[in-house]
Structure 1
């Protein structure tokens, strides 16, 4: 094909599952090509503007491509709609440009859910084909290479570490964190300083955090946030061995008569959507779970009539989101001591606290035996003054204006302070949560869009409700004048994983333990697709660590 290119390794996508592969292979001297659908934005493009959080310029356009989504109605029926909610960030570095960067490791029991807690009827739980010990050195590598800030403290759920502490000191903490610690200790809990994939001090040409508050959902202006682009791809390109091809929408992987992947076809969005082709010895798919499954399903061939890796109809199966909920504690300034109110008005530093006392729940009121629990992260929402003000114009069904609206706005921003907690627990994989190709809906290039069926297991709701109630108790112990929380069962717009589960049984998994497609010896999938379960934390840290692990395996393969 005209305009074709040849690389040692071709990577589709540029996020957490792609960056470590490009970084390690380029440093090892291999020619690396990264095909990214989005554009290359840099620090100066991420100014502190609430209108820029995941702005449409950073995302795919609904008119061009979307997803079909099916959700349960609660009465046995399903509702269907088209959505753009799963497009987290189509730019170099992926959606992690906009992450809050909570960096918790998984724990040893996350790798062996069945062995530890037994089967759960209606769930497709399995043990991982690797152990925590296999991944631990790579967690450590992520902390050192991309920069993780934090402080290790002893607590009942502390996972084993090969290093005593994080390589970077904690990011600056809000003074109210001390009040939180005291409240937790009064409840005999173990508050944790939250590790963040955010630099607290300059490192490797990147500046430290500026503490603007514009973090989660926003791109990082200083480069402190450990996005794949800032931490890894910029370094990979400097080697001279890595080429990042932007505005390259990959739509098919081609395979030869033996079933091996030989090339990738993409639409050049900067050149009138012309079709181009890349050849390579090894291919890596890392374009987010939903789209990775869609790409494999669309990549049919003589040896792969149902899509690459789909001989046993496993591609797209066992998708999972992040189950949990949210809660709030509202503190009324005029009911606090003057110094307490002054502390609460401080903006910028992170709250930086988490609780994992209920990572395993041993409560007979919930279950006769211990069950897997989750994590509570306590945070401040990013500043959204315009959005918050717009929501204040209604008093019930009555539209406010003039003095009444001004008074309400003043009260909202000066009379109270809202804390937030986020609950993370496992979204159990089940037969009603998967990705397929929609038989009707097409994108602008004539391809079937991904159809996401997002059924949840009732066990998740029970665990999340328990954790939400614990979070409310903590808020009340802090002295919140109002405290409440809610469980959610809708699929999260981010933090989606699974769909190409790894395992030892070719009939129940898509990838082997090294994330290589069972039926395609030179194709790997390294985004969150590989994960049999998401654990009870955000998955980005684990995706990074596993991608570094797989990079070592690919280098060994290329050396043969």
Structure 2
């Protein structure tokens, strides 16, 4: 046990924990971060697709720390044990392996209930803060991690206003990246269709930024760490800068399993150190930033007092993003592996039909995605094509048709907040430490099918305009679901249901919900400052606080919320808060 307590203890070092550590250390607090995984560096990364892409090097080992899955409570204890919604387990968390797509959520997303109205079978809610309250923290996060997206004021070219210019207001830290060939085809085809494509905002340098190199466009971004530091993961940005203050201590390979709460105050966290010994560390303020799957697990393992915590809501409203994708086959080589995960996108259908004005909850945006679709072991390569065509002549024919000749488009569909979609403790399965593991209960909402039915013809239309010879559709639903067939003679690839290797593999692994924030303790676990209603020095700073999932990649919003919450902690506890603007490392 530490004799001299820290000012702030943070459990987890991803998008939320990393930003919180930076802001609080810069403010003068003595901060300790417990991270379950190792501290990796550029030399640990590379282009080994089998190691990073297929075997998921960054994920927790499902033989040591499995998770369980079922579709609904009446499925029994579980249907599956193993890898479920794996995420990076290392300093920097999911930002180490992510594709670095960095959107701001739209103002309407933060007032989803007011904007869309109710959705049967879901508990759509307004967020307890507005976009105007969050906007300055978006700007600070973008400047710290380095987001490239172009100038968002005015028009890039006559007749093509930049989406978001009217509400965003702030320029990006860097210009948008140039498109690769597939993204250029998408951009030109979208414009011919009267749509408004724009560079996907990404935390990837297109020039040297604050001492980090510009992107080499090697293509090994998503599911890979960046060996040259061009990707703005939290290990090389926020945490690296916080370490320079001398007030941050990071303890990697430290597995937190219990939070002590006495007399309405969080006192300390117990954890297993790298040698397997049980230790504890105390602090004046404790922050949980373990992800939407592991934060509720830690809370439930801690058995916090029921009069201080709304246990009925802990773990509920698990959300991800619906993956509805399309593969376009081209006679010419597309070579989409030249670039990074997403280079161009459109927002025209974000709220539904832009022509009729009819609103549709959950449509999200359409992005060009890859280049994991171009990796030899990714879609179009040896392993993935064997899954569809088997071995032998069929395998060779499929691989020749795909590798270098395919382009992916994907809808980042919003996942409705459903009360029965949740994380709790499995009653029978334990990890290697003897602790109950996270159990995921998840099934699709009917709105997911409606979004897919609406999106697929849009994707098909864009591919046709791009010159694709054939389109295939990828959806996460069972074969019984009615989905429109593509017009170009393709087929529909269905999600895995509850079979291996990941029973929820049809979801984009954007973990949100489970520790909902809100304006009242009866309807939320934490308040608008991400503080437990009944425990004033215990906070949740990760994606689990999201009331709704939005139709964009969530990382930048986690970071903006983290910055806001951390500044609030600093002010309430007497630390100095300067107008850092993400520039504290100049």
Q: TM-score, normalised by structure 1?
A: 0.89
Compute the displacement of 1:484 (Å).
2.9
Q: Deviations over 1:256-290 (max 9, x none)?
A: 1x22100000001x21x110000100011001111
> Map of 1:295-444 to 2, 5 A cutoff?
295-301=298-304, 304-305=305-306, 310-333=309-332, 341=333, 344-345=334-335, 347-350=337-340, 352-362=343-353, 371-382=361-372, 383-386=374-377, 388-392=381-385, 399-400=391-392, 412-413=402-403, 417-444=405-432
Q: Confirm or deny that 1:518 pairs with 2:527.
A: no
User: Map of 1:189-208 to 2, 5 A cutoff?
Assistant: 189-208=195-214
- Cα pair distance change 1:185/1:168, threshold 3 Å: same
> 1:158-197 residue pairs with structure 2 within 5 A?
158=165, 160-163=167-170, 165-197=171-203
Pair 91,4 (structure 1): closer, same or farther in 2 beyond 3 Å: farther
Answering whether residue 304 of structure 2 is matched by residue 265 of structure 1, we say no
Distance in 1 of aligned mates of 2:293 and 2:306: 20
Distance 1:517 1:240 in 2: 29
Deviations for 1:226-262, whole angstroms, at most 9, x for unmatched residues?
A: 1111111011111110000011000000011x22100
| 1:373 Cα deviation after fit | 2.6
Superimposed CA distance per residue, residues 334-391 of structure 1 (whole angstroms, 9 cap, x where no aligned partner) = xxxxxxx5xx3475234611011011113799x9665453111112332421452245
Shift of 1:556: 0.8
Helix, strand or coil for the counterpart of 1:250?
A: strand
Q: Is the 8 A contact 1:461 1:487 kept in 2?
A: no
**Displacement of 1:28 after TM fit?**
1.5
Paired with 1:395 and 1:175, the residues of 2 have a C-alpha distance of 26
Find the counterpart in structure 1 of residue 104 from structure 2. 105
**CA apart distance, 1:193:** 1.1
Q: Deviations over 1:399-429 (max 9, x none)?
A: 427xx8767655554xx61000111121111
**Counterpart check, 1:13 vs 2:12:** yes
Q: Aligned partners of 1:411 and 1:56: how far apart in 2? A: 26
* Residue 69 of structure 2: aligned partner: 69
Moved more, 57-66 or 320-329: 57-66
Deviates more, 1:386-395 or 1:370-379: 386-395
Distance 1:103 1:282 in 2: 29
Displacement of 1:182 in angstroms is 2.3
Q: Please, which of 471, 476, 483 is the counterpart of residue 488 of structure 1?
A: 476
Deviation at 1:72, TM superposition (A): 5.6
Q: 1:4 to 1:56 in 2, by over 3 A?
A: farther
Question: C-alpha distance in 2, partners of 1:346/1:274?
Answer: 47
Residue 498 (structure 2) pairs with residue 498 (structure 1): no
Change (3 A) 1:115 1:448: same
What do residues 445-492 of structure 1 show as CA deviations (whole Å, max 9, x unaligned)?
111111111122101220232123211110111111011323325463
Distance 1:93 1:243 in 2: 14
Where 1:148 maps in the other structure, the secondary structure is coil
> Distance in 2 between the 1:8 and 1:393 partners?
54
Matches of 2:337 and 2:371 in 1, distance apart? 11
C-alpha RMSD over aligned residues: 2.5
Change (3 A) 1:5 1:214: farther
Q: Does 1:509 align with 2:555?
A: no
Give, in whole Å, the separation in 1 of the partners of 2:255 and 2:93: 14
What corresponds to 2:581 in structure 1? none
Match of 1:133? 132
1:159–1:33 CA distance, 2 compared to 1 (3 A):
farther
- 1:171, distance to aligned residue in structure 2 (A): 2.4
Q: Is the 8 A contact 1:502 1:515 kept in 2?
A: yes
Task: Give CA deviations for 1:19-78 in whole Å, capped at 9, x if unaligned.
Answer: 1111111111211000001000011111122123255553322221111111269xx968
Q: How many residues align?
A: 534
Structure 2 partner of 1:87: 86
Q: TM-score, normalised by structure 2?
A: 0.86
Change (3 A) 1:409 1:453: closer
Distance 2:473 2:299 in 1: 39
Contact 1:362 1:371 in 2 (8 A): no
Q: Distance in 1 between matches of 2:388 and 2:524?
A: 53
For 2:234 and 2:49, locate their aligned partners in 1 and report how far apart those are by CA, in whole Å: 23
Match of 2:482 in 1: none
